[in-house]
Amino acid sequence: MNSLRDNRQYLLPSGLALAIAGVLASPILYAQEANITELDAIEVSADAAEPSGTAPSDGYTAEATVTGTKTTTNVVETPQSISTVTADQIEDQNAANLGEVLRYTAGARGETFGFEPRTTFLRIRGFDVATSGLFRDNLKLANPGFAAGYSLEPYGAERIDVLKGPSSVLYGQAGPGGLVNYVSKRPTFDTRREVRVEAGTNDLVQGQFDISGAVNDSDTLAVRLVGLVRDSETQVDFVNDDRKYLAPSLTWQPTDDTRVTVLAHWQYDDTQPSQRYPLQGTLEPNPNGQIPDNRFTGEPGFDSYERRESAIGYEFEHRISDQVLVRQNVRDYRNDVDDRSIYTRGLQPDLRTITRQRYESYGRIDGLALDNQLEVNVATGAADHTLLIGLDHQDIDVSSRRLFSDVEANPMPLDIYQPEYGGVIADTPFGSDQNSELKQTGVYVQDQVRLDRWTVSLGGRYDVARSANVDNLFASTTSRDDEAFTGRAGVSYQFANGLAPYVSYMESFLPTTGTDAAGNPFEPETAHQYEVGVKYQPSTDTLVTLAWFDLTREDYLTTNPTSFASEQKGEANSRGLEMEARTRVFQALDVVASYTYTDAEITKASNPVEEGEPLEYTPEHEAALWGKYSFRGGMLHGLGLGAGVRYIGESFGAAFNADNSALEVPDVTLVDAAVTYDIGQVSLGLHAQNLLDEKYVATAFDSSGTYGTRREVTGSVTYRF
């Protein structure tokens, strides 16, 4: 079989490529012209209630990060690629979900399947991280077996960090691509109050508020309350996107050495499943024409998706001395999802009537996450050490009940071109009913050694995990014990002009549930990565990152094409180049630019057809450029103009044609825009996503295709007081 890899295109649209190259190069050229020879150390400051690395950033550039090392570390000192989307960028682009937040981030995809109101499907460097790589405030949001999905509210985030590559040393069980860390808004001692109302396409009506400040002018106690209510339809008939969100928090700081922050949130989502359509009529031609992208394939009144999510926890920090700091982070959380749908299973010979199947899933996750840390700052000779010793623990209970109808007995046909709803809904004669428990404890050590301009980071971790699964239908119980050691090493050098080249190696592991055909439990899948890059930060307003990586995922499950049994034979390799620039020019123009080249392929599989094929859902080229100019004086003072362009290169779906070659999904270029106007305490906004209203196929899998999100226009009024 000939791989489609040889037919890939290696050229970006020339205008977009030149624009991004200019943005990436401009800070370096500026530094050379200015003949910069020495820079003062970057000073990281924050409100007294906010640890550096979690505090608000002015603009699109984050000065420091906690996600990369679990200690407050300047980004240029972290020998690993990490991107931060700040609250300012989220607001300027009016991102309504995590997928939209990541649109301009190198190496990350948050809209794998296009239009998707239910949950977020995340991929980093070609690999899925939706079930193993989603974190909130550095603590994992577990989702074993995709029992329940998450859709985190961007308005509640101070920033969203994307840590790329295997990261088990600090975070335990994790997938190979990396992780996304949602950093919640925290109380501030300075007063911040805003109320916002939005309306837009798809009958969107939304209200939100954010109130923060000290209690009774206290210098020790601060509170914050963030809330949102949304009532909206979507681009698909009968599918709504409603949400209620409330996040209270409190910080008590009795002394300069002690701080406790309590974080809680409650979220309720009411929507319906996304739509999958036959390939003939989406990605492939159909004599009846293209299937409309507003077509609903389920049954009105039956299809539903409800999520009830809640959590409460705290972050405790106490400085024992100038050298010793202890922390404890805890969260107790629950995620309860009811999912019912009638979805497309196939297309009948008339190429217009679809066969449908009933599916129901009821999942619940109860989790406790705990992370204890001891940070010690010491010197040995000329070297300064930031030593981190940690012990973290997860205790997760999962219940999952799934029901399927017999599509052969009752196919529930529907004319997808002229649908008539109200048919008899099939019963659900078979499915699964399981309860699972996972306990994991890990001990990790990290040492950041600073010697002159060198920074060396070394880390190791040992994990033990026990999982048990009860099959309620067959009254059977299985359990397994896993243990693993993972390591990480990196070194960087900071030049006086702001350049910081680095090299690193890192590993990850992820336990795999189930047994093979002989009844033997599967071993954990593993991954390792080599990364070489350079970061450039001449000032707090500019950060440019260039990274080359070689990432291998090993021992993941694949399906035997003859017996259909799961086998631990999977291996995939992803290598590529990522460039990202974030800067503020003339104190008026905020810019973010990114380019991603990913060469990812399946190297081993149970089915020989798959070997050598491109990794599914992974474009070889992606690029994005966004800028917003804010007028600071004159007649146009208060006016802000924003525009962005996103290029998503061709990719390949998890499906094959008759000749056993992967299905090719065409590339697409999308345009976004924004206009804002500040009048005193009032801010007016008009935002458009997919401004040119491009209709495009997002991806293909099995015998189905999905559409991307069409044009959405939103107007807003914000009052700050």
Q: Could you report the per-residue pLDDT of 391-432, keeping only the tens digit for each?
A: 999 999 999 999 999 888 889 999 999 999 998 899 988 789
Whether 671 contacts 654, CB under 8 Å? no
pLDDT surpassing 60 at residue 471:
yes
Indicate the range of 93-102, 510-519, 655-664 predicted with least confidence: 655-664
Long-range CB contacts (within 8 A, 24+) of 51-54: 51/259, 51/317, 54/158, 54/159, 54/183, 54/186
Q: Which of helix, strand or coil describes residue 144?
A: helix
Q: Return the minimum-mean-pLDDT range out of 258-262, 267-271, 517-521, 592-596.
A: 517-521
Q: Where is 237: in which H helix or E strand?
A: none
Highest mean pLDDT among 1-5, 67-71, 521-525, 652-656 belongs to 67-71
Which range, of 209-218, 249-258, 513-522, averages the lowest pLDDT?
513-522
Backbone angles phi and psi of 284, in degrees to 5: -115, 155
For residues 259 and 237, is the Cβ–Cβ distance under 8 A?
A: no
Q: Which residues contact 538 (CB under 8 A, 6 or more apart)?
A: 27, 30, 31, 36, 39, 497, 498
Q: What is the band of 51 on the pLDDT scale with cuts at 50, 70, 90?
A: low
DSSP 68: T
Distance CA 538, CA 29 (A): 11
What are the beta bridge partners of residue 344?
Answer: 356
Q: What is the per-residue DSSP string for 611-675?
A: TTPBPTT--SEEEEEEEEEE--SGGGTTEEEEEEEEEE--EEEEEE-TTS-EEEEPPEEEEEEEE
The whole-number pLDDT of residue 659 equals 58
Residue 16 banded pLDDT, cuts 50, 70, 90: very low
What pLDDT is attached to residue 3? 38
pLDDT surpasses 60 at 244: yes
Give pLDDT, residue 512. 79
What residues have CB less than 8 Å from 347, skipping those under 6 apart?
278, 280, 281, 353, 354, 355, 703
**Range name among 25-39, 61-75, 176-190 with the lowest pLDDT average:** 25-39
Q: Are strands 134-136 and 178-184 parallel, antiparallel or unpaired?
A: parallel
Q: How do beta strands 134-136 and 430-451 pair? A: unpaired
DSSP state of 111: B
pLDDT for residue 69 is more than 80: yes
For 104-257, where are the E strands, in sequence order?
108-109, 123-124, 127-128, 134-136, 139-140, 157-164, 178-184, 192-200, 204-214, 221-231, 241-255
Q: Is the pLDDT of residue 477 over 80?
A: yes
pLDDT reported for residue 208:
98
**Residue 91: which residues within 8 A CB-CB, separation 6 or more?**
none
Question: Looking at residue 657, what is its pLDDT?
Answer: 60
Q: Name the residue with higher pLDDT: 540 or 180.
A: 180
Residue ranges in 168-309 assigned as alpha helix (H): 168-171
Q: What confidence category does residue 1 fall into, taking pLDDT thresholds of 50, 70 and 90?
A: very low
pLDDT at 511: 83
Dihedral angle sign, alpha carbons of residues 43, 61, 383, 387: positive
Distance of alpha carbon 128 from the chain centroid:
10
Tokens of 490: 């990196």
Quick check: 564 pLDDT over 80? no
pLDDT tier at 658, thresholds 50, 70, 90:
low
Nearest to 592 by CA among 128, 179, 101: 101
More confident residue, 243 or 147: 243
Average confidence (pLDDT) over 219-230: 97
pLDDT band at 131 (very low <50, low <70, confident <90, very high): confident
Q: Which residues of 227-238 are buried (b: 16+ CB within 10 A; e: fewer)?
A: bbebebebbbbe
What does residue 313 show for φ and ψ, rounded to 5 degrees?
A: -165, -175
In this prediction, what percent of the chain has a pLDDT beyond 90? 77
Query: Tokens 């997002």 label which residue?
Result: 698
pLDDT tens sequence across 617-637 = 999 999 999 999 999 988 999
Q: How many domains does the chain fold into?
A: 1
The two three-digit tokens of residue 79, written as one number:
């020998």
CA 348 to chain centre: 37
Q: How many other C-beta atoms can be found within 10 angstroms of the C-beta atom of residue 383?
A: 14
- Containing structural domain, residue 417: 4-720
pLDDT attached to residue 30: 36
Distance CA 59, CA 377 (A): 31
Strands 454-471 and 430-451: antiparallel
Q: Over pLDDT 70: what percentage of the chain?
A: 91
Quick check: helix, strand or coil at residue 67?
coil
Q: CA nearest 396: which of 511, 503, 506?
A: 511
DSSP code per residue over 561-618: TTT--EEEEEEEEEEEEEEEEEEEETTTEEEEEEEEEEEEEEEE-SSGGGTTPBPTT-
Give the bridge partners for 240, in sequence order.
Answer: 233
| Residue 513 reports pLDDT greater than 90 | no
Cα–Cα distance for residue pair 290/686, rounded to 1 Å: 32
DSSP string, 272-290: -----EESBTTTB--TT-P
- Position 52 scores a pLDDT of 58
Instruction: Give ∠ CA 347-350-351 in degrees, rounded to 5.
Output: 45
Residues in the chain: 721
On whether the CB atoms of residues 491 and 519 are closer than 8 A, the answer is: no
Q: Tokens representing 686?
A: 């008009």
| Spatial CB neighbours of 127, under 8 Å, sequence gap ≥ 6 | 175, 176, 177, 551, 553, 572, 574, 615
Confidence category of residue 164, pLDDT binned at 50, 70, 90? very high
Strand 454-471 to 525-539 pairing = unpaired
Residue 150 pLDDT > 90: yes
Q: Which helix (H) or strand (E) holds 556?
A: strand 542-559
Please give the pLDDT value at position 703: 86
661 confidence band (pLDDT: 50, 70, 90): low
DSSP codes, 371-387:
EEEEEEEEEETTEEEEE
pLDDT tens-digit readout, 306-356 = 999 999 999 999 999 999 999 999 999 999 999 999 999 999 999 999 999
Q: How far apart are CA 45 and CA 43, in angstroms?
A: 6
Averaged pLDDT score across all residues of the chain: 90
- Asked whether 579 and 543 are in contact (CB, 8 A), the reply is no
User: How crowded is residue 602: how many other Cβ atoms within 10 Å of its Cβ?
Assistant: 22
Average pLDDT for residues 200-224, to the nearest whole number?
95
173: helix, coil or strand? coil
Distance CA 519, CA 531 (A): 38
Contact predicate 484/524, CB 8 Å: yes
pLDDT of residue 399: 95
98, 154 Cβ separation under 8 angstroms: yes
CATH number at residue 242: 2.40.170.20
Please tell me the pTM assigned to this model: 0.91
CB 622 within 8 A of CB 596: yes
The rounded distance, in Å, linking the Cα atoms of 389 and 652 is: 43
Q: What pLDDT does 14 receive?
A: 39
d(CA 247, CA 156): 7
Helix (H, G, I), strand (E, B) or coil at 51: coil
Question: Residue 514: its pLDDT value, please?
Answer: 66
Position of tokens 């709803």? 421
**What CA–CA distance (Å, rounded) separates 528 from 526?**
7
CB 169 within 8 A of CB 115: no
Residue 10 has pLDDT above 60, yes or no: no
Higher-confidence position of 51 and 627: 627
Which residues, including other chains, have CB under 8 Å from residue 408's CB and lie 6 or more apart?
A: none
